[in-house]
């Protein structure tokens, strides 16, 4: 199975959004060797909360204020952030000493509003290219669909 099909099936068939996010992170790291760490943050109020991740080490940044670091920048500006060398980016908030480049891609709702993000680190300088951006944008859209499905499943309980 190719990567798109594998990811598609994993995300859409997962029993919950968190399971989908976890699988997405695991597949990214397993299939793409330049992905050292992958995580999915979702926005709760003014805070990004780490839902799931995969990597050798846990990050201490499980909650990030909107506006802080590259993750917070992507949230404020509702745009992807790609940094070739984090040592030259003053807004970068360090998680792992070995990280050299990072990509953050927004997850948006159907209205285009920022609701979360995929955050990936690499130990290589300039690891993330247009193909990574396109693939992660596609994945973000899939995660958004999965998130919506979960909200819709819960909605009757509140009506």
Which residues make up the interface to ligand SME (CB under 6 A)?
Answer: 39, 59, 61, 64, 69-71, 92-93, 95, 102, 119, 121
Q: Which is nearer to ligand SME, 27 or 95 (CB)?
A: 95
Contact 151, 16 (CB under 8 A): no
Q: Which is nearer to ligand SME, 52 or 119 (CB)?
A: 119
Taking the C-alpha atoms of residue 53 and residue 60, their distance in angstroms, rounded to an integer, is 12
Q: Note the Cα 6 to chain centre separation in Å.
A: 17
Helix (H) or strand (E) holding 81: strand 81-83
Minimum separation from the CB atom of position 102 to ligand SME (A): 6
Minimum separation from the CB atom of position 121 to ligand SME (A): 5
Helix (H) or strand (E) holding 119: strand 114-122
Residue nearest to ligand SME (CB): 69
Task: Tally the residues of the chain.
Answer: 159
Minimum separation from the CB atom of position 21 to ligand SME (A): 14
Q: Which is nearer to ligand SME, 13 or 85 (CB)?
A: 85
């Amino acid at each position: 199975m190719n990567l798109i099909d594998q990811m598609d099936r994993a995300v859409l068939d997962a029993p919950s959004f968190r399971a989908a996010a976890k699988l997405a992170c695991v597949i990214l790291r397993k299939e793409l060797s330049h992905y050292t760490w992958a995580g999915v943050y979702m926005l709760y109020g003014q805070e990004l909360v780490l839902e799931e991740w995969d990597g050798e080490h846990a990050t201490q940044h499980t909650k990030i204020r909107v506006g802080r670091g590259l993750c917070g920048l992507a949230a404020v500006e509702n745009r992807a952030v790609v940094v070739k060398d984090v040592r030259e980016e003053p807004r970068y908030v360090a998680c792992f000493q070995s990280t050299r480049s990072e990509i953050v891609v927004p997850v948006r709702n159907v209205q285009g509003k920022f609701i979360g993000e995929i955050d990936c680190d690499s130990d290589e300088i300039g690891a993330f290219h247009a193909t990574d951006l396109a693939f992660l944008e596609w994945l973000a859209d899939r995660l958004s669909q999965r998130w919506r499905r979960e909200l819709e499943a819960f909605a009757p309980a509140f009506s």
